Amino acid sequence: MKQPDWSKLLKECVEFSSRLIQTPSMPRHEQQMSQLVAAEMRRLQLDEVWTDDVGNVSGRLFGQNRELGAIVLNSHLDHVDPGELNLWTTPPYEPTVRDDRLYGRGSCDMKGPLAVQVYSIAALKWLGRSPKRDVVFSGVVEEEIGGRGAQFWAQGLNYDVDLIVLGEPSSNQLSLGHRGIAQYWVKFSGKSVHASVPASGTNPNQALAKFLTRLDQMSRDLPGHAVLGRTTVAPTIIEVDTQSMNVTPAWVRVLLDFRTAAMSSLEIVDFVRAVAGDSPVVISDALSDDPEAPIRSDDQPIYGFYTDPKDADVERVRDLVGKGMGWRPALESYQFATDGRHFKSLGAPIIGYSPAEEHLAHTVDESISLEMIADSLRGHVELLGNF
């Protein structure tokens, strides 16, 4: 069977990645990025290219049996803010190759992986190799701020899907899921007074300090999931009711970010109250649009997505990408959240497979290995052609 010109495929994939990096696409500002990806897929002569009402862009290569569910390659179009520009070795929107790596904002998360997905589909087109089933690229908006594009795509899906491959960084291993997110405000109240007479009031910051110390200690014993990992909790934002420097606050609240695949919302709230001990607290759901909304009384474990490693499709994917790359990938899980959590209701296996490295996502001087891109192109081509 004819094989792609791998060096040419890599060169063009990296050039496309560079053009994507040169195109800033912060959340809610992905239009130019969407247009660039659509134009590239049309240039590569995919059978169908379209956009939807929220700005998601899709492309399709027809398969031999169009009655089979499609393989969907999912990536997001947005990226996080580059932050302090003077911390970058080279400007974040000026892609640079050095030491066999491509640098720039989004190179890792996830414009490099997006380009790999598009060009692995193009490789089949160039070779005249019709895959067994339709292959669809789906580029969605606003992943970095909650996943509105992914939710819209999943809710409006009008074709069958048998496998979803996420382009989130996985170092060319297979990621089978991640923990879910639960975020709660924990509010402590006190009595506000002039800071010169603190003893005449009740400073809620004192209760918060004790709470945070106990949280650090008690969180070490939280339950975990055999594949997706241990439950963690991180205090992130602290707010008070006053901006006056000489007034003790009437209240203080802290945002707790839980990541778990083993605890329910009921169990998390019970844990928070146990940490608070005798201190009265008000707990509210930070992910709810309504700050007065009651806490969910859900007793089901919270998780992002989870594909059982014993699923037959996992082994099929593992064999195919391993054959393409020339080495067998490990089965792992993501530490961070992905749009995969919005696809659970579709019922198809969800697997992360990408040449980018998770620890480089959202970092200054983010980069992606050209060698890992080359491996991933080979793995993707084998998967798409034979799944």
Render pLDDT for 245-270 as a digit per residue (tens, 0 to 9): 999 999 999 999 999 999 999 999 99
Render pLDDT for 347-379 as a digit per residue (tens, 0 to 9): 999 999 999 999 999 999 999 999 999 999 999
Render pLDDT for 148-197 as a digit per residue (tens, 0 to 9): 999 999 999 999 999 999 999 999 999 999 999 999 999 999 999 999 99
Q: Report pLDDT for 269.
A: 95
Q: Are residues 97 and 163 in the same domain?
A: yes
Q: Are residues 235 and 356 in the same domain?
A: no
Does any domain span residue 280?
A: yes
Tell me how many helices (H) and strands (E) the chain has. Answer: 8, 17
Domain CATH code at residue 53: 3.40.630.10
Residue 275's domain comprises: 179-285
Render pLDDT for 214-257 as a digit per residue (tens, 0 to 9): 999 999 999 999 999 999 999 999 999 999 999 999 999 999 99
Does any domain span residue 359?
A: yes
Does any domain span residue 357?
A: yes
Q: Are residues 12 and 134 in the same domain?
A: yes
Q: Are residues 211 and 280 in the same domain?
A: yes
Number of domains into which the chain is organized: 2
Cα–Cα distance for residue pair 143/152, rounded to 1 Å: 11
Alpha helices by DSSP H, 201-245: 204-218
Cα–Cα distance for residue pair 341/181, rounded to 1 Å: 10
Q: Is the pLDDT of residue 68 over 70?
A: yes
Q: Are residues 15 and 153 in the same domain?
A: yes
Cα–Cα distance for residue pair 373/206, rounded to 1 Å: 51
Mean pLDDT of 55-61: 98
Does any domain span residue 292?
A: no
Does any domain span residue 323?
A: no
Does any domain span residue 320?
A: no
Confidence grade of residue 1 (pLDDT, cut at 50, 70, 90): low
The predicted model scores a pTM of 0.91
Cα–Cα distance for residue pair 247/198, rounded to 1 Å: 9
Domain CATH code at residue 204: 3.30.70.360
